[in-house]
Structure 1
């Protein structure tokens, strides 16, 4: 998949590709909303591999234009909403909401406005984000997303009922390093126990691990900056 991205803005990284791989474990279908789409990589990959009705919502106009360009180039149908997720009034509910949201604490800053909006949680605070997701899911809808691993306890406390975590997978940069990403699947009114999936270590010494290479091969993306 060819993906156009801005030269001086936020570009997707391994976090999104690992999340795509995590989502691929589940029978995702019907109406899917991606929140905070960036250049559209996550939703487009899922739409490439699954029969879904994809909607993406992106607050930044420049990124919404890249989503449109990438969808057209890769011949994937979707609905693009250029708006603020927290304030936008949706006219339907979704079976799935997927997201690699801005999750770094807002006390960190970037001089680049595109990166600031894409990375830091001041524009999509955890509590408000989770509550809005819960309100637009169908009765048995699912929320599949990633977050900074060090905030996992906060995530578990902030998820509103009836959302319940049923799948968790941690990503580690290397062995002997702490996890830096957690991927979570939560479902409304779920009764099943939590499954902790085998973690992924991104690097094995100075090379990508076997598992990471498999994820990158499966995604099969190529970035073009302009």
Structure 2
């Protein structure tokens, strides 16, 4: 997925290269590090964000706004991150990749975004939010990981509500989330009058249960749900599938 990181700033950080996307990313060596999910989400969005503005809710090291502006043609992006240390890394990554004129990092909780932006400010909203309810799943001793994985100040309904506020009528909201919470996701979207337009399941192997799903929602318009063919990451021999290789191989 990325060239193995070399140490920077002593041993606390690594510098990782995503050669396919011409990106260099500083990440914590032992804290929260990005997974496959943001790469898959950006590929799912792809040309739908070309030329437009977007905001990423929970940006981490800034990988989503950097990918979307540098590779997928978004005109501008805001990355929102509540963790001070991760927001600082995201700002550094913007500078490292020369993206200061296209990407802005905002150190803020998503629940406070209404005081920063008027309603309907962005063409697209993206999010790879915390998946798990508090007290569920495995916990990590590594700083920052549990906040990134578990809902803290904001839950699923908060993320979708804020996304609806921020996106323009007719615009798109893109999420990556857990299949075990798909029923909840659909119910909350319905309560908020967000129409789920596209849904794609992602499987590790062809015989495995889905590990995440990718969803596109629309604000201000009704639409039929298109369930796209599943994305399978690995072949039987452990190598990437042809489609996954196009997204993930460096």
Please give the TM-score of this superposition, normalised by the length of structure 2. Answer: 0.82
| Ranges in structure 2 where 5+ consecutive residues have no aligned partner | 1-22
Deviation at 1:27, TM superposition (A): 4.1
Q: Do the aligned partners of 2:178 and 2:212 also contact (CA within 8 Å) in 1?
A: yes
Determine helix, strand or coil for the equivalent of 2:131.
coil
Are 2:171 and 1:149 aligned?
Answer: no
Q: 1:90-129 counterparts in 2 under 5 A?
A: 90-92=116-118, 93-108=121-136, 109-129=139-159
Q: Does 1:78 align with 2:103?
A: yes
Match of 2:12? none
Partner of 2:167: 137
Query: Equivalent residue for 2:232?
Result: 201
Q: In 1, distance between residues paired with 2:50 and 2:125?
A: 10
Q: Which of 60, 79, 83 in structure 2 is aligned with 1:60?
A: 83
What is the rounded CA distance, in whole Å, between the counterparts of 2:184 and 2:169 in structure 1?
Answer: 24
Question: RCO (CA 8 Å, sep 6+): is it higher in 1 or 2?
Answer: 1
Q: Please, which of 195, 198, 201 is the counterpart of residue 167 of structure 1?
A: 198
- Structure-1 residue corresponding to 2:36: 14
Residues 1:127 and 1:70: Cα distance change in structure 2 (over 3 Å): same
Displacement of 1:48 after TM fit? 0.7
Query: Which residues of structure 1 form unaligned runs of 5+?
Result: 221-226
CA displacement at 1:74 relative to structure 2:
1.1
Distance (whole Å) between structure 1 residues aligned to residue 143 and residue 110 of structure 2: 18
Q: Any conservation in 1 of the 2:58–2:79 contact (CA below 8 Å)?
A: yes
Write the distance in 2 (CA, Å) between the matches of 1:153 and 1:105. 15
CA distance in 1, matches of 2:232, 2:199: 15
Partner-residue secondary structure (3-state), 2:77:
strand
Corresponding residue for residue 61 of structure 2: 39
- Over the residues paired in the alignment, what is the CA RMSD in angstroms? 1.6
